[in-house]
Amino acid sequence: MPEFRYLTRGSACRDFIMGAYRKGTPSREALGKTAEVMFRAWDLLCQENLEDALSLAHESLILDGCCREALVLTAEVAIQSGHMEKAEHYLVQALKARPEAQPPDQSAPDDMIRYIYQALSLMHVFESMGALCVLQGDYDQALKILETVPDSMIPFIPWARFQMARLYTLAGKPDEALACFPPEMGLCPPGTDYDAALCHIMKRDVRRAIQSLQEGFFESPYIALAIMGEPVPEEMRANNHEQYRQSALAYVRQMRDAWEKTPNAVDFMRAVWDHPAVRRETVEYCRLANRPLVSSKGVVAPDMLKSLGKLVSSRHLKKASYKIAKDIPPILSGPAPDTNGNED
């Protein structure tokens, strides 16, 4: 569901804008303008307004011809428009737009924000490459790409971990999928419990499948019932946990029977994640989970700086970039398309 990727990317642009404008040197203001255009572009893409989003992406490229975020957005518009070869070309170009050689001194918050923005943009390249492979049905290649994301970046782009869990499930690797959701990760987006339950069903562990769904039902009972096509009973509005438990049991039985007849993880996950209730809740999750890198007073959060200063190092980024560039998948190595911005 690409719009969730777009939401997190828009928030990264927003954070960069706040830092870029705080001390208005000409170069910083120029970068801020680029980020502001990108923020609007991702928002338009969330609304499926491809034409205007592409127009703003081209505007960003005029402001900064090496703007990685603009290249990624242009690739995403091409994907949504069905122009896969052009998307491949733009993603390869975005991959070549390397971050700064060294992370800046943490005592220079504006420079640090710029470096963070570049680092997150690189992660967006990996994520889009993975998404493109998924659209081609190449789950193994998508996983190979996403596995290059440094572990240190996962706390800042948690959606990559959830996406990897889904890919492991689709690849028939339930153990690896479940390992993507350790307890210390805390809040997971709506739908995660259903994915976990499917993994347990694949392993024929009905007890744990029920446990996963019970947790999900307690967290989001309305979503659970909506997916089952049942009305919300009055007693559930009074927080009757026994009703949740019985509903979870019924859903697991339904899931187990369906799996034994037609073990198709793709269909099950699509049914869950495309449900309007899950989509609404996940958008809200993205909004709450993506806390700003800078406070309302325009000061970079100290814990963020400390963590990113240690973890988002040039060594991590160069290693990840090199690994991808060294082995660009066949899907991304075709002839370069027309780069004049024409999408027909």
Question: What pLDDT score was predicted for residue 285?
Answer: 61
Q: How many helices (H) and strands (E) does the chain have?
A: 18, 0
Query: Is residue 77 classed as helix, strand or coil in its secondary structure?
Result: helix
Q: Which residue has the tokens 């989509």?
A: 279
Which class does domain 2-171+297-332 fall in?
Answer: mainly alpha
Cα–Cα distance measured from residue 268 to residue 130, given in angstroms and rounded to the nearest whole number: 21
The residue count for the chain: 344
pLDDT tens for the chain, 344 residues: list them.
445 566 556 655 655 555 555 555 555 566 667 777 777 887 787 777 888 888 887 787 776 655 777 788 888 888 887 888 888 888 888 877 655 545 555 555 556 656 666 666 777 787 788 778 877 777 788 888 877 766 666 655 666 677 788 888 877 888 988 888 755 445 566 677 778 888 888 888 888 887 777 766 655 656 666 666 666 555 555 555 666 667 667 777 777 777 777 777 777 777 777 677 777 666 666 555 444 444 444 443 334 334 334 433 444 444 444 444 444 433 333 333 333 434 33
pTM over cut 0.85: no
Cα–Cα distance measured from residue 226 to residue 325, given in angstroms and rounded to the nearest whole number: 44
Query: Is residue 23 classed as helix, strand or coil in its secondary structure?
Result: coil
Question: What pLDDT score was predicted for residue 116?
Answer: 63
Question: What pLDDT score was predicted for residue 268?
Answer: 73
**Encoded amino acid at 188, one letter:** C
First to last CA, the chain: 24
